[in-house]
Chain A
Amino acid sequence: MIDKNYWLGYIRPSIYQYLAPFTTIQLTVYLWGFKAGCPEEFFRRKKYTKTEFLFNSFAAKLPFLKDMLEQYTGAAIMLLFALGIACGMVTMTSLLGPKRHFADKMEPFECGESQLVSPHQRFSVKFYLVAVLFVLFDIEAIFFFPWAVLFKRLGLFGFVEMLLFILILGVGLLYVWKRGGLDWE
């Protein structure tokens, strides 16, 4: 049988740990953008609360920020709509289908056998290595984006600087390659 305690105690908290702050921050930022994206007249008919007043004056002082938040209004509406669709579909399929449960049917799929060992065992360390390499190279790749946008303005100086950067990146890749970090056996 599956060791359920192991599963609950070990794997699950780690997933929540990584997901929860990420989604909370994301949602807060989007909702904030949705509110600020409305024209100022939206608040005209009612008395400003202190927070709204502070926020509006803040937004008025930073037209750049307000412009950015206005851009995200469409995306925020789409986000809410998509959230509704996704949750609605999951709920609907749980409600609409028949429910005929019996013990054998509720076991994990194992080609007709009952499950012999827990699926949560050790797996190849290569996956971990790929994840670490991805984090390294992706952070380095992110530095390219502002450089590419400002390429014309930076001119030869920017090009030479980035040449050195690509060289360092290339040496890193070569090192990982020679050490066998990219081989799968």
Chain B
Amino acid sequence: MDWITEFLDELWDFIVQSLADNIPLIVGSVKAVVIAVAVMSVVPFLVWLERRLMGRFQVRLGPNRVGPFGFGQPMADTIKLLFKESIIQTSADKFLFHLAPAVVVFTAIVAFAVIPFGAPFEIFGQNIELWGANINSGILFVFAISGMGIYGMVIAGLSSNNKYSLMGGLRSSAQMISYELTLGLSALSIILLTGSLSLVDMVKAQETVPFILIQPLAFLLFFIAGVAETNRAPFDLPEAEQELVAGFHTEYTGMKFAMFFMGEYINMVTMSALVTLLFLGGWNSYGIPVWPIVSFAAKVVFLLCVFIWLRSTFPRIRYDRLMTFGWKVLLPLCLLNLLITGTIKVM
């Protein structure tokens, strides 16, 4: 029997040793799973918030039957959509048709990996940092991954073999690449002030004063471009219900239809978090005694409410005006802002 105990001892040693050696990896895995699940469970809450707030804006009640204050409504909708038939019309390209919603959800979740949402703290002798990955070029990572989300919409538009979908796909590609320029250039003045591409460093640089007070124009440009990037009203032309019957996702049914909305809402959260990190001081609370994570969450929820507020206030703008606004107003303003910031910084 000796060899069995010896073998078990050795096995136990091996397991303990390899666990101890790989603590950063294990902590990283758990964190990644927790963050991904948390981000996905924000979506039903956000849908509920939007429907309730829209109801109030339009002087009606909004959903209030399922659960307290209608809180169970998005859950019920999700379950219903999951058990709906997924129709693929015969002339569609099957593989690309399945690929498109997967790309949208995938890029939306991955882009959130580098968003830090609180100051690091210590537990069980381990330093836990509240971010999926602290990449020293974090902001470029977010731009790169969320830029890949365009592929999802274009593939959806092309593979559906439907003229409304194709129009929606084309519109979304042109709109998103135009406003991505503004997004990158307006974030540039913040990079110029901090001298770093890391989102954590940007929050640390705002410990005394948030950048919205120093860079109000950049904040405005970034937020407008962010609304356009997430395809929200008043820039929701790719999915204009009245003219394009929902645009690039006309042909989608069931859960695949819901996945586009999941992607859109996760992108909304990412964009709000990004605005908070770059301009509103991240988790710094400026003298108000709250936990860093509460301060961060409060700012994000406020920005999400602004998103919904914009949707219920403004009518959809015309496509030519959208493109003209992006290229003739926002882009020159971005360059001007960069020029002014550089001049002040160098003096």
Which of A's residues lie within 8 Å of B, judged by CB?
2, 4, 7, 11-12, 15, 19, 37-39, 41-42, 44-45, 68, 71-75, 77-79, 81-83, 85-87, 89-90, 92-94, 96-100, 105-111, 115, 119-120, 123, 126-127, 130-131, 133-134, 137-138, 141, 144-145, 148-152, 155-156, 159, 162-163, 166, 169-170, 173, 177, 182-185
* Beta-carbon contact of A138 and B106 below 8 Å: no
A154 to B332, CA, bound (A): 25
Number of A-B contacts (CB under 8 A): 239
- CB neighbors of A among B75-124 (8 A): 81-93, 96, 98, 101-103, 105-106, 109-110, 112-114
Partner of A93, one of B14, B92, B254: B254
Asked if B55 lies at the interface with its beta carbon under 8 angstroms from chain A, I say no
Q: Which residue of A lies closest to B33 (CB)?
A: A81
* B137: min CB distance to chain A, Å: 9
Q: Is the CB of B255 within 8 A of A145?
A: no
Question: Is A152's CB under 8 angstroms from B83's CB?
Answer: no
Residues of A within 8 A of B250 (CB): 109
- The verdict on B323 contacting chain A, using a C-beta distance below 8 Å, is yes
Question: Which residue of B is nearest A153, CB measured?
Answer: B195
Task: Given A107-B89, A130-B178, decide whether A93 and B256 contact each other with a Cβ distance below 8 A.
Answer: yes
Q: Which of B87, B160, B256, B331 contacts A90 (CB 8 A)?
A: B256
Dominant SS among interface residues on chain A: helix
CB–CB A15/B155 < 8 A = yes
Q: In the assembled complex, which residues on chain B have CB atoms less than 8 Å from the CB atom of A100? A: 85
Name the A residues within 8 Å of B184 (CB-CB).
138, 141
Give the residues from 28 to 86 in chain B that come closer than 8 angstroms, CB to CB, to chain A. Answer: 28-29, 31-33, 35-36, 40, 81-86
- Taking CB atoms, residues of chain A closer than 8 Å to B301 are none
Is A127 in contact with B328, judged by CB distance below 8 angstroms? no
A2 pairs with B28, CB closer than 8 A: no
Is B346 located at the chain interface by the 8 A CB criterion?
yes
With A73-B133, A85-B40, A86-B102 known, 14 other A-B pairs at CB within 8 A are A74-B32, A77-B33, A81-B33, A86-B106, A86-B259, A98-B83, A106-B87, A108-B161, A109-B250, A119-B163, A145-B140, A148-B192, A149-B195, A182-B328
Question: Mind listing 15 A-B residue pairs with CB under 8 Å?
Answer: A12-B93, A39-B25, A68-B136, A74-B28, A74-B131, A75-B135, A77-B29, A85-B106, A90-B101, A97-B85, A107-B91, A119-B165, A120-B166, A141-B188, A151-B342
Q: Is there an interface contact between A74 and B132, defined as CB atoms closer than 8 Å?
A: yes
Known: A71-B136, A130-B178. A78 touches B188 (CB 8 A): no
Question: How far, in whole Å, are A27 and B145 apart by their CA atoms in the complex?
Answer: 13
Expressed in whole angstroms, the Cα–Cα distance for A106 and B87 within the complex equals 7
Q: How large is the interface on B (under 10, 10 to 19, 20 to 34, 35 or more residues)?
A: 35 or more
Q: Which residue of A lies closest to B184 (CB)?
A: A141
In whole angstroms, what is the CA distance A44 to B18 when docked? 10
Q: Contact at A82–B132, with CB atoms within 8 Å?
A: no
B131: nearest residue on chain A (CB-CB)? Answer: A74
Contacts of B309 in A (CB 8 A): none
Q: Which residue of B lies closest to A34 (CB)?
A: B25
Judging by beta carbons under 8 Å apart, are A15 and B29 in contact? no
A2 to B162, CA, bound (A): 10
The 3 A-B residue pairs with the shortest CB-CB distance, nearest first, are: A74-B133, A93-B255, A184-B320
Report chain B residues within 8 Å CB of A39: 21-22, 24-25
Give the residue of A82, A105, A108, A120 whose beta carbon is less than 8 angstroms from that of B110. Answer: A82
